[in-house]
Amino acid sequence: MNQNTPNKKTILLIEDEVDLVDLYTEILNEAGFNVIPAYDGEEGIIKAKNEHWDLMLLDIMLPEKDGMAVLEELQKLEDSKKGPIVLLTNLNSEDLIERAYKLGADDYLIKSEISLEDITKKVISYLS
């Protein structure tokens, strides 16, 4: 399911809800993307450092390290930003949104306000 195929763009998906990981992986695979899942912030940071990815979809509410801590950690790494980082969360707070952009997020999407089709369109637009 998450094996890399040559010439396909790769999404690093950091999300702790297994059902959402499965759903997002399915729609992104159907759209022609590889997906590398990580189920907590620590695993996400390790995979961000060690895997090739073209775009990151990052939840904020995660075990181990939350999405904001992941963003902070990625800022410290040399060449860590290999592609756009899109937060995909249900937290809709102006303070969080502002902080996310200051920490290097490229976009901030609210799960409850965006369709699966629109998530796919956003990913495609960032990787075109």
Query: The domain that contains 16 carries what CATH number?
Result: 3.40.50.2300
> What burial letters (b/e) apply to 70-101, b meaning 16+ CB within 10 Å?
bbebbeeeeeeebbbbbbbbebeeeebbebbe
Does 1 map to a domain?
no
> Model pTM?
0.91
Does 5 map to a domain?
no
Q: Which domain holds residue 88?
A: 10-127
How many CB atoms lie under 10 A from the CB of residue 50?
Answer: 7
CA distance 87 to 84: 10
How many CB atoms lie under 10 A from the CB of residue 3?
Answer: 7
The mean pLDDT values, 10 residues at a time, for the chain of 128 residues are 66 98 98 98 95 95 95 78 88 95 95 96 95
- How many structural domains does the chain have? 1
Does 39 map to a domain?
yes
Which single residue is written with the structure tokens 């997906």? 35
Does 4 map to a domain?
no
